[in-house]
Chain A
Amino acid sequence: MATGYYPGCSLEGTAAEFDMSIRALAEALQLPLTEIEDWNCCGASAAHQTNHLLGLALPARTIALAAAQGMEEIVAPCAACSNRLIAAQAEWLDNSGLRGDIEHAIGMPLPAGRLPIRNCIEFLLPHIEKITAALRKPLTGKKVACYYGCLLVRPPKVVAFDDPENPVTMEKVAAATGAEAVDWGFRTECCGAAFAMSSTASVVRLCGRILDNARSEGAHMVIVACPLCHANLDMRQPKGMAMPIVYLSQLVGLAVGVAPKALGLGKHITPVAPALA
């Protein structure tokens, strides 16, 4: 099955290491990913707050391209990208009146059915056995706190991914690396999202609470699957916290023996190396 890869803008900028680690890991696990040609911005929060049709048309164009390029599913590691793609697709499938307007706006036909959109966790979840078989450097003894944030699991009826109040899938993938996923209370709490710019102090406070709980439950690092979560947790830590924030793809990459450099582990603000020692 041809799998389209949709990195989105974050993975070309602040979350370059997410992109590097996904590609490196896919190669190591022999999971072919083909980047969708000529993909465009998903619109993020800006588009759907500006104009409803624009908010639908931007993700629609990427999905239409993927379908036209013969792809049967899309892996969109960025939580905002996957959320927008899923939400837009759900909307036109639910309301057939929108289809014509969107097709007119993008100048392309939309696929008739639903194209599965997978986030980073869903990308890896079916391959746990493969990961276990490929383990080179199991992370035995490492305690990790899996952090989902808001976008991966919400709105529950639209994304239909895991349990919105008590998700467990990231823990399953993390456990395949030999690491121990700790039971903690802030897995779906807010990281402050875009308020990092307008109310930095609030974001520091929110991130501080999340990391405090991860630490008190014994975690050596926090695992994420969203570029914005990563940016906030990595950059907005209270003084003296020094909690490494690692993408799920980096964690699995390490365990299956991908070189830390190829996973972009040196790109973090809060150093990761001490936690791996």
Chain B
Amino acid sequence: MARIGVFVCWCGENIGRTVDCPKVAAEAAEFPGVVHSVDYKYMCSDPGQGLVKEAIREKKLTGVVVAACSPRMHESTFRRACAEAGLNPFLCEMANIREHCSWVHEDRGEATAKAVQLVRVMVEKVKRNEALFPIKVPVTKRALVIGGGIAGIQAALDIANGGKKVVLVEKEPSIGGHMAQLSETFPTLDCSQCILTPRMVEAATHPNITLHTYAEVESVSGFIGNFDVKIRLKARSVDIKKCTGCGLCAQKCPQKKIPSEFDEGLGMRTAIYTPFAQAVPNKPVIDRAHCTKFLNGKCGICQKICPVGAVDYTQEDTFIEEKVGAIVVATGYRLYDFRNGEKDYGIEGYGEYGYGQYKDVIDGLQFERLASASGPTGGEILRPSDGKPPEKVVFIKCVGSRDCAKGLSYCSKICCMYIAKHAMLYKHKVHHGTAYVFYMDIRAGGKSYDEFVRRAIEEDGAVYIRGRVSRIYKRGGKLVVVGADTLLGGTGGGRVEIEADLVVLATAMRPQYGIEALAQKLSISYDEYGFLSEAHPKLRPVETNTAGIFLAGACQGAKDIPEAVGQASGAAAKVLGLFSGDELEREPIVAHVNQSQCVGCFYCEQVCPYHAIEREEKRDKAGNLIARVAKVNAGLCQGCGACVATCRSNSIDLDGFSAEQVFSQIGGLK
């Protein structure tokens, strides 16, 4: 005989204001099978949980329904309480009377009636719940980190320093990411390279880290604790073991006019190249799309000149397979392409800023290269068109960001700070120049951030103008920037015209190209902009909804260096936690096949998003094949139920959500 306890939570005022909780508890007490029903102001608190435990012990409950918030919020809290009182945790269910009821209704009478219904259906379900036991899976104590920018480096180092092995994969020839391109960093103006390059070296030489640069993740299969990863090592055309990094090949390469990716097109590189002088590893690759040898078979100078015979034109992409227990995705960001727009994403671009036809209209990363000591101008701020120092520089914020009409609706977060930094660096280098900043708001919420912006304005004299720029056009050799100063009223309407020598657009931060394809390989989700989705925006910010896969840095949303590093360390902590035991416990909400009933159509195999359906052969005693039937790999199954709904012969059921349980819930509605 079922003995169910019902516990109705007020959630302070969240539920209590709209739902008459004592009435819900009183009505629930009358449901068949309910032997105990109470309400309490904060059921998740220690005394609240005490009520649950006490009732389990005293009333010998066989099931518990907590009518409170979403199970995503506190199901684990109450299940733990039940377990402590000796009840199998899977005999505890939540009736969500907050998100599904009090928060979305206004009428107290109707909301209370709905809450009663929600409790009734859960009581009906719990009566049919069975004790379930967590599934144990072994763990490979080795992590994969995808992306070798600052976030990936930090995550790899933290895991490695925690004593676990790491495979770090970077698609470019060197690790370092965008941070290696930066000049100085806000809010302290540390030299970016000086704080980053030692970490790059540490990551490359760490005994626990295996580094693969110029490599990409090809495919991923498996599940938490047991991922199989295939990695493509792109052909460098240089034997990295022989190469000493002497650099002779790049000196002699006749192709010298290839726009450098590292210098954002402001400098040139050769066809055999290392992206920058401090690259890790400091070994070149051949860019086959631009190499004369690969284009028409002539040349071959680099091979002739290499003192150790490391250049190998016959190299091909190779593949390696790695087994890992956890994956950290740290693929970072790129800047919105204001030159071409991004029609694929429905982003129109900014014709009023010239679509990049003006050489002296550049983006923030290009300005970083102009200001960087390792940049094409050696750190002198010279404009790209004629190499002269600009007397007036206009910075425009929110290009592509916070623009629902033709850009992206989100705030890119870092621009307010880096533009203040740019204005400051410019003034430090061109003392007589003037920096103008067009802004919508100044968002400088961070430790020492607002002080930094004030310094740019008050000490370095950056002229901040609140308003947007409607057009940039050329007049003579100058760029005329036409905008509005919305703090100026009067007959002029706040119209501002500035004859600038250089214009810097703070273009929106976007996730890297190819993020969607990678997310699909990993079976993790992403939002409408391609940023990877965390499991919970507040309480699980580094986890994804796929167990064992974690996020670090700007692949999850726009963020600056301190935040990216913080998240990377968070992800590393999660990985180390995962690796702390030899076995993992997983929720036993998995599907089961009734193999005697299965007809072997394998429709379930086609719909399973997690590749959890396996084929099993049934043989008689003589070894003759009788049937091929489906089997669920409990390690892979995420309990989504797609196979249950698809099964034509009704042979699959989901533990914890059996057909009987679900139908009894529906039957319980009145």
Chain A contact residues, CB within 8 Å of chain B? 163-166, 183-186, 189, 213, 216-217
* A16 to B211 alpha-carbon distance, docked (Å): 75
With A183-B474, A184-B474 known, 15 other A-B pairs at CB within 8 A are A163-B351, A165-B350, A165-B352, A166-B352, A166-B355, A185-B471, A185-B475, A185-B480, A186-B473, A189-B471, A213-B473, A213-B475, A216-B475, A216-B476, A217-B475
Q: Which residue in A166, A189, A213, A216 is a CB contact (below 8 Å) of B354?
A: A166
CB distance from A236 to the nearest CB of B (A): 20
Q: Report whether A165 and B475 are in contact in the complex, using a CB–CB cutoff of 8 Å.
A: no
Question: Which interface residue of A165, A186, A216 has the most chain B CB atoms within 10 A?
Answer: A165
B188 lies within 8 A of chain A by Cβ: no
* B residues 459-502 touching A (CB-CB < 8 Å): 471-476, 480
Complex partner residue of B474 from A163, A165, A217, CB under 8 angstroms: A217
Contact sample, A vs B, 27 pairs, CB 8 Å cutoff = A163-B351, A164-B351, A165-B350, A165-B351, A165-B352, A166-B351, A166-B352, A166-B354, A166-B355, A183-B357, A183-B474, A184-B473, A184-B474, A185-B471, A185-B472, A185-B473, A185-B474, A185-B475, A185-B480, A186-B473, A189-B471, A213-B473, A213-B475, A216-B475, A216-B476, A217-B474, A217-B475
Complex CA–CA separation, A184 to B472 (angstroms): 10
Query: Please, which residues of chain B bring their CB within 8 A of the CB of A184?
Result: 473-474
Instruction: Name the distance in Å between B640's Cβ and chain A's nearest Cβ.
Output: 40
**Residues in chain B near residue A213, CB distance under 8 A:** 473, 475
How many A-B residue pairs have C-beta atoms within 8 angstroms? Tell me: 27
Task: Report B353-368 CB contacts with A as 1/0, cut-off 8 Å.
Answer: 0110100000000000
B328-360 Cβ-contact flags toward A at 8 Å (1 or 0): 000000000000000000000011101101000
Give min CB distance, B570 to chain A, whole Å.
42
Binding site for A on B (CB under 8 A): 350-352, 354-355, 357, 471-476, 480
Interface centre among A164, A166, A185 (most CB of B within 10 A): A185
Q: In the bound complex, how far is the Cα of B355 from the Cα of A164, in angstroms?
A: 13
Report the minimum CB–CB distance from A140 to chain B (whole Å): 24
Give A274 to B386 CA distance when docked, in angstroms: 35
B608: shortest Cβ distance to chain A, in Å? Answer: 42
| Closest residue of A by beta carbon distance from B474 | A185
A241 to chain B, nearest CB (A): 16
The distance from the CB of A156 to the nearest CB of chain B, in whole angstroms, is 9
Give the distance to chain A from B407, nearest Cβ to Cβ, in Å.
Answer: 13
- Report the bound CA distance from A166 to B475 in whole Å: 16
The distance in angstroms between the C-alpha atoms of A213 and B482, with both chains bound, is: 13
- The interface residues of chain A lying within 8 Å CB-to-CB of B351 are 163-166
Question: Which residues of A have CB within 8 Å of B480?
Answer: 185
Q: Taking the nearest CB of chain A, how far is it from the CB of B610, in angstroms? A: 42
Distance to closest chain B CB from A210 (angstroms): 11
Shortest Cβ-Cβ A-B pairs, 8 listed: A185-B473, A165-B351, A166-B351, A165-B352, A163-B351, A216-B475, A166-B355, A216-B476
Expressed in whole angstroms, the minimum distance between the Cβ of B477 and any Cβ of chain A is 10
Q: Across the two chains, which residue of chain A brings its CB closest to B479?
A: A185
How far is A268 from B472 in the complex, measured between Cα atoms in Å?
31
**Residues of chain B contacted by A163 (CB below 8 angstroms):** 351
B471 partner residues in chain A, CB cutoff 8 A: 185, 189
B472 proximity list for chain A (CB < 8 A) = 185
Which residues on B sit within 8 Å (CB–CB) of A166?
351-352, 354-355
Alpha-carbon distance A163/B341, docked complex (angstroms): 12
With a cutoff of 8 Å between Cβ atoms, the chain B residues found around residue A186 in the complex are 473
Q: Could you tell me the distance in whole angstroms from the C-beta of A32 to the nearest C-beta in chain B?
A: 35
Write the chain A residue with the least CB distance to B480: A185
Give Cα distance in the complex from A213 to B473, angstroms. Answer: 9
A183 to B474, CA, bound (A): 8
CA distance A106 to B352 in the complex (A): 41
How far is the CB of B471 from the nearest CB of chain A, in Å?
7
- Name the residue of chain B whose CB is nearest to the CB of A182: B474
| Bound form: Cα–Cα A184–B473 in Å | 7
Q: Which B residues are in CB contact (< 8 Å) with A164?
A: 351
In the complex the two chains form, what is the Cα distance from A114 to B475 in whole Å? Answer: 42
**Distance between B282 CB and nearest chain A CB, rounded to angstroms:** 43
CA distance A184 to B357 in the complex (A): 11
| A217 nearest CB neighbor, chain B only | B474
> In the docked arrangement, what's the CA distance between A163 and B355, Å?
11
B669 CB → nearest A CB, Å: 40
Q: Select the residue from B351, B355, B480 with max chain A CB neighbours within 10 A.
A: B351
Shortest distance between the CB of A83 and any CB in chain B (Å): 20
Complex formed: what's the CA distance from A166 to B406 in Å? Answer: 14
In the bound complex, what is the Cα–Cα distance between A216 and B476 (angstroms)? Answer: 6
Which A residue's beta carbon lies closest to that of B353?
Answer: A165
Using CB atoms, name the residue of chain A closest to B473: A185
A-side contacts of B355, CB under 8 Å: 166
Which residues of the partner chain A approach B354 to less than 8 Å between Cβ atoms? 166
Q: A23 to B345, alpha carbons, bound, how many Å?
A: 43
Of all chain A residues, the one with the shortest Cβ separation from B354 is: A166
A168's nearest neighbour on chain B, judged by CB, is B351
**Chain B residue with Cβ nearest A189:** B471
Bound complex: CA of A164 vs CA of B471, how far in Å? 12
CB distance from A206 to the nearest CB of B (A): 12
The answer for the CA separation of A41 and B471 in the assembled complex, in Å, is 35
- Chain A residues near B476: list those with CB within 8 A: 216
**Complex formed: what's the CA distance from A183 to B475 in Å?**
10
A188–B655 CA distance with the chains assembled, in angstroms: 65
Contacts of A189 in B (CB 8 A): 471
Chain B residues with CB under 8 A of A217:
474-475
Q: Which residues of A contact B473 (CB under 8 A)?
A: 184-186, 213
Name the A residues within 8 Å of B357 (CB-CB): 183
A186 to B497, CA, bound (A): 14
Q: Report the separation of the CA atoms of residues A184 and B354 in the bound assembly, to the nearest whole angstrom.
A: 10
A186 to B473, CA, bound (A): 8
How far is B499's CA from A216's CA once the two chains are assembled, in angstroms?
Answer: 14
Instruction: Determine the distance from Cα of A163 to Cα of B474 in the docked complex, in whole angstroms.
Output: 19
Across the interface, which residues of B come within 8 angstroms of A216, CB to CB? 475-476
A149 to B472 Cα, complex, angstroms: 17
A30 to B645, CA, bound (A): 66
Bound together, the chains give a CA A164 to CA B473 distance in angstroms of 15
Closest to A186 in B: B473
Complex Cα spacing A186 to B474, Å: 10
Nearest CB on A from B503, distance (A): 13
Complex Cα distance, B350 from A213, in Å, reads 21
State how many angstroms separate the Cβ of B458 from the closest Cβ of chain A: 34
Which chain B residue shows the least CB distance to A185? B473
Report the Cα distance A182→B586, complex, angstroms: 68
B352 surroundings in chain A (CB, below 8 A) = 165-166
> B360 to nearest A CB, angstroms?
14
CB distance from A181 to the nearest CB of B (A): 13
Query: Considering the chains assembled together, what is the distance between the CA atoms of A189 and B355 in angstroms?
Result: 17
- A186 to chain B minimum Cβ distance, whole angstroms, is 7
Which chain A residues lie closer than 8 Å to B475 at the CB level? 185, 213, 216-217
| Chain A, Cβ-Cβ closest to B475 | A216
Beta-carbon nearest neighbor of B341 in chain A: A163
- Chain B, Cβ-Cβ closest to A212: B475
How many Å lie between the Cα of A165 and that of B480 in the bound state? 16
Distance in Å from the Cβ of B468 to the closest Cβ of chain A? Answer: 13
A189, B472: Cα distance in complex, Å: 12
A258 to B471 alpha-carbon distance, docked (Å): 38
**Nearest-Cβ distance from residue A43 to partner chain B, whole angstroms:** 28
Q: Specify which chain A residues have a CB less than 8 angstroms from the CB of B474 in the assembled complex.
A: 183-185, 217
Query: Which residues of the other chain, B, contact A185 by a CB distance below 8 angstroms?
Result: 471-475, 480
Measured in the bound complex, the distance between the Cα atoms of B352 and A186 in whole Å is 10
Bound Cα distance from A255 to B472, whole angstroms: 32
Complex CA–CA separation, A166 to B351 (angstroms): 5
Nearest CB in chain B: distance from A145 CB, A = 12
Q: How far is the CB of A143 from chain B (nearest CB, A)?
A: 14
Closest Cβ of chain A: how far from B324's Cβ, in Å? 48
In the bound assembly, the distance between CA atoms of A164 and B472 in angstroms comes to 15
Closest Cβ–Cβ distance, residue B329 to chain A (whole Å): 36
CA distance A185 to B471 in the complex (A): 8
Q: Closest Cβ of chain A: how far from B517's Cβ, in Å?
A: 30
- Closest CB-CB distance, B609 to chain A, in whole Å? 37
Give the residue name and chain of the B residue nearest to A163 (CB).
B351
